[in-house]
Amino acid sequence: MISEQLVEITDPHFIIELMYAGTSHNMTGCPVYTEMGLGNHAYVHKDLWEKLQKLIPWLEEHHMKLKIFDAYRPPSAHVRLKEVIPQPGFFAIMPETSPHCRGTAVDVALTDENGREFSYPTPVDAYDPFYAAEVQAGRCKGFFEYLKKARHDYQNADETESIRNRDTLRELMESIGLEALAHEWWHYELPRGRTGKYPMLRY
């Protein structure tokens, strides 16, 4: 049963492609959401949906869509993901500490109206088939080095367009009252989204 605090995102201005529902674009290589019956359905806390829907006029005006790669993550899925990739630095140790398990965070990227993703310094979740295989084999050093590109303070004169897209997304998401994470350009969450105001929600 889905908590009544959660709302499913079905508005056509949002493209739902949850990375942990399938095996592609997924560092764990394991279709965890599908395995446990959630499938490709994006739920968020109703307070987060209240903010996300403020994007619709902007998306309309700019002929863009917002692609959702992760939203509410059931605590049991979090535990399973953590089992698949037990290395520190990937998933919060306890589901209780992850804003995704409270429905207060989303992982996103902007696309054009046909769903074509714009360029960013890394793909969402820094997914790369090479590093995904490395990480699944327990070799994380190179991946953590590569992750520096996922930071908001990453700069590179040869990647001005990707960096501009990253900054546009941040400006947009902050304009509706969401907060960025310094080390994941794709992740946005509700202010106080990790506090007792929003307890973990069971699925």
Q: Enumerate binding residues for Zn ion (CB under 5 A).
A: 105, 107, 187
CA distances from 110 to 54, 66, 116, 140, 186 (A): 15, 5, 9, 28, 10
Measured from the CB atom, the residue of 59 and 68 that comes closer to Zn ion is 68
Q: How far apart are CA 98 and CA 140, in angstroms?
A: 21
User: Could you tell me which residues are beta bridge partners of residue 66?
Assistant: 14, 110
CB of residue 73 to Zn ion, shortest distance in Å = 9
CA dihedral 137, 142, 17, 88 (to 10 degrees): 70
Residue nearest to Zn ion (CB): 187
CB of residue 111 to Zn ion, shortest distance in Å = 18
Phi–psi pair at 14, nearest 5 degrees: -120, 135
CB of residue 40 to Zn ion, shortest distance in Å = 17
Measured from the CB atom, the residue of 62 and 79 that comes closer to Zn ion is 79
Question: DSSP 3-state assignment of 161?
Answer: helix
CB of residue 51 to Zn ion, shortest distance in Å = 16
CB of residue 105 to Zn ion, shortest distance in Å = 5
Q: How many CB atoms lie within 10 A of CB 149?
A: 17
CB of residue 131 to Zn ion, shortest distance in Å = 17
Measured from the CB atom, the residue of 97 and 161 that comes closer to Zn ion is 97
User: Could you tell me which residues are beta bridge partners of residue 117?
Assistant: 111
Measured from the CB atom, the residue of 19 and 63 that comes closer to Zn ion is 19
Measured from the CB atom, the residue of 87 and 160 that comes closer to Zn ion is 87
Measured from the CB atom, the residue of 59 and 108 that comes closer to Zn ion is 108
Exposure b/e, 7-46, CB count within 10 A at least 16 = b: bebeeebbbbbbbbbbeebbbbebbbbeeeebeebbbbbe
